[in-house]
Structure 1
Amino acid sequence: MSSAVSRPPAADSASALAHYESLLQFETDCWDVHHAISNKRQDFVLLDVRGEESYQQGHLPAAIHLPHSRISEETLAQYPAETLFVVYCAGPHCNGADKAAIRLARLQRPVKKMIGGATGWLDEGFSLEVGKNV
């Protein structure tokens, strides 16, 4: 008797490879973002897309506060068209980063979502900055 895990068969290796390689085009993780920031290799703009109160209570170092509802041509005007944006929200229970990614993609801007959000950041043992508005 098979389990709920194995009942749907696993994808063939070529399909699995294509799927997981494509995920990296859309997502990054807390560890890679932290590594880039701490090693002075940040080649992206990190956007905290949560509300003001959440941002003030704690945000990632180097994060710019831009709630997803305020992402527009005007708010992005200072960034060249090829700028990569990495968006995050509270965590896996929040879809704010997805909403931000949709807005950025509609504006023809390169975007990746940092999976895990602020919760994942803390889970990795990294700290948040409090109250500072970048």
Structure 2
Amino acid sequence: MSIVTEIAAAPPASALAHFTSLLAFETDCWDVHHALTSGQHDFVLLDVRGPAQFEAGHIAGAIHLPHGKIIASKLAQFPAGTVFVTYCAGPHCNGATRAAIRLARLGRPVKIMAGGITGWIDEGFALDSRMSAEEGPA
């Protein structure tokens, strides 16, 4: 018996519930890229990093809204059921989680983009440095 199988795998029904639950809370860079480039963009992508990081490069179409500035008035332009996807620097950063907490407290549906900008770059996807999306919601 290996260390892998020393503890038995969960029954398939439990595994299905667990892994489905994970995807209710997060998505990944490839899925976000696919949605953005295939016309299935049915969410608001929030870059929750600081201004300097956003200016250095962000995902095209992302709205810049640092996690500390997520308040109800900044979200008022979006219908109540709008899904938000947050991202920050990467796995070493908890900004996307902090943003998700703020959004959830405001009653907004939210997912985190696992991997953040680091994952996006690792997938080979381009960054945008144009400032058209800079300030996001008023």
The TM tier, using the shorter chain, reads over 0.9
* Deviation sequence 1:21-46 (CA, Å, 0-9, x none): 11111111111110111112101100
| Partner residue, 1:19 | 18
Equivalent residue for 1:61? 60
Name structure 1 gaps, 5 residues minimum: none
Structure 1 contact 57–131 (Cα < 8 Å) conserved: no
Q: When the two structures are superposed, what TM-score results if normalisation uses the length of structure 2? A: 0.91
SS class of match (1:75):
helix
Residues 48 and 87 in structure 1, CA contact (< 8 A), matched pair in contact too: yes
Deviation track 1:95-130 (CA, whole Å, cap 9, x = no partner) reads 000000000000000101110100000111101001
Identity %: 63
What secondary structure, in the 3-state scheme, does the structure 2 residue paired with 1:120 have? helix
| 1:9 Cα deviation after fit | 2.8
Map of 2:90 onto structure 1: 91
Equivalent in the alignment of 1:116: 115
Residue type of the partner of 2:88? Answer: C
Q: Which position in structure 2 is the counterpart of 1:2?
A: 2
Structure 2 partner of 1:37: 36
CA contact (8 A) 1:55 1:131 kept: no
Secondary structure of the equivalent of 1:74? helix
Counting matched residue pairs gives 133
Whole-Å Cα distance in 1 between the matches of residues 96 and 11 of structure 2?
31
Q: Which amino acid aligns with 2:2?
A: S
CA-based RMSD:
1.1
CA displacement at 1:6 relative to structure 2:
3.2
How far apart in 1 are the matches of 2:28 and 2:42?
15
